[in-house]
Each structure stands twice: as structure tokens, then as C-alpha cells.
Structure 1
Amino acid sequence: MQIIIQHNSMVPIYEQITNKIKAEILAGQLAEGMALPSVRQLAKDLKISALTVKKAYDLLEEEGFTQTVHGKGSFVLAVNADTKKEDLLFKTQEELEIIIKKAQQAGITNQEITEMIQLILEG
């Protein structure tokens, strides 16, 4: 598993970690029962705080992607990809709605929002 952190991104580091691991689980690259790197090891590898990694792992567990066994580590759970994808789509839609409302309140036009999204998708 290779995680690349973008420090200049508006997405918090813990969310970048969470998103990458979720994507690998949904793609089948991380199979059920596989152990994730320890919090300390991943923090060391990424040169970030262990608390940031812990926050990402807690979020993964909360969303049903992993299970943490005290003293043993975090392990990938069986995931129904269709169900999880639908859940992720719903959460993404909710977040986009919030962002679009904020942008519109700031006077950003729908065309400008569309152009920003297109730039992000191309980036």
C-alpha cells in the first residue's frame, strides 16, 4: 500500500489517508483480513503525526471498513462493494451540496463551480 500525501491540498491529511485506504479496499487491493500498517509505522513512513494516522484509522473503523484489535492492529473487514459505494456516493453528494451552497453564498456562479470541479478532475 502506497499513500502519497499532498500537504498543499485542502483535504485534511487524515481524510487523504482514509480515502486512499477505502479506495484500495473497494478495488480489492486490500483483501478481507489483511493487516494495515501499524499507526506508528504509517506515521513514520509518511512523516506525519501518529495522531493523524489514528484519526484516519478510527474513521475507517467507524465506517465499517476495518476493525481494530487492541494490541494486534487494524484489519480489513469484508465489504460489500456495491453497498459501500452507494454509501460513499450519498456522503459525497451531501458534502458537495454543502460546498456548492457555500460557493453560491460567496457569489460564485454555477459556471465557475463547474469549471473548478473540471480543473480538479483533470488535476
Structure 2
Amino acid sequence: MNIILSNASDEPIYGQIVRQIRQSILNGEITPGHLLPSIRQLAKDLQISVITTKRAYEELEKEGLIDSVVGKGSFVSGANPQFIREQRLRLLEGTLIEAVQESRSLNMPLEELVAHIRLLYKELEGED
């Protein structure tokens, strides 16, 4: 698992960790049952406070994305596929909101935005 932190970001360090681990889980890069690094090991690897990594893992556990077992570690949750799909749809909606806002700033009509999305979708179909 490769986590990249930015001190220049407005996002807190624990938030950067949560976002990147969440994205890896939702994209299927790390699968249910996968053992995450221990809180101490991740803190050491990232050269940050144990408290910061603990907060990130607690946030992921609240979201139902990881399960922590005392004495064994933290594992990617075996959450049902529908839950994972809903979480991924939520992330997609955020991306689409950014695209809509950007198209509005360009005074692009909805039809033109949809045409661009269709074109990109068709281009990417051939890459699968």
C-alpha cells in the first residue's frame, strides 16, 4: 500500500490517509480480508504520529471499511458488495459535481457536457 502525504495540502494528514486507503478499498486495489499495516508500523513508515494513524483507522472503521481485531490488527472489511457500490457511487457523484461546476464556469451547455462524457465513455470502452 502506497500512501503519499503532502504537507502543503489543506487536508489534514489523517484525512489524506483515510482518503487514500478508502480509495484503494473502493477501487478494489486492496480486497476484503487484506491485513493493513499496524498503526505503529504505518506511523513509522510515514514518519508521523501514532495518534494520527490511529485516528485515520478509527475513521475508516466508522465508515465500515475496515475491522480492527485486538491483538491481530486491522483488516479490510468484508462489507457487502452493495455497500461498496454505494460508497463508490458517492465518490463518483463528487467527481461529477466537479465536472458540472467546471463546465458551468466554461458556459458549456448540458448537452455539450453530455456529448463529451459519451465520447470519453466510448473511447474508454475499447481499453477494457
Structure 2 residue 87 is the aligned partner of structure 1 residue 84: yes
> What residue number does 1:68 align with?
68
User: How many percent identity over aligned positions?
Assistant: 44
The runs of 5 or more residues in structure 2 that have no matched partner are 107-128
> What residue number does 1:45 align with?
45
Structure 2 residue 59 is the aligned partner of structure 1 residue 56: no
For the residue of structure 2 that corresponds to 1:19, the secondary structure is: helix
Instruction: Kindly report the root-mean-square deviation, in angstroms, between the aligned alpha carbons of the 2 structures.
Output: 2.3
Residue identity matched to 2:88: K
TM-score w.r.t. the length of structure 1 is 0.70
Q: Distance in 2 between matches of 1:45 and 1:63?
A: 24
Residue identity matched to 2:59: L
For the residue of structure 2 that corresponds to 1:74, the secondary structure is: strand
Number of residue pairs matched by the alignment: 97
> What residue number does 2:22 align with?
22
Q: Distance in 1 between matches of 2:25 and 2:92?
A: 16
> What residue number does 1:35 align with?
35
Residue identity matched to 1:84: Q
TM-score w.r.t. the length of structure 2 is 0.67
> What residue number does 1:9 align with?
9
For the residue of structure 1 that corresponds to 2:45, the secondary structure is: helix
Q: Distance in 2 between matches of 1:36 and 1:68?
A: 10
- The structure with the largest alpha-carbon Rg is 2
The runs of 5 or more residues in structure 1 that have no matched partner are 97-109, 116-123
CA distance 1:38–1:22, change in 2 (3 Å): same
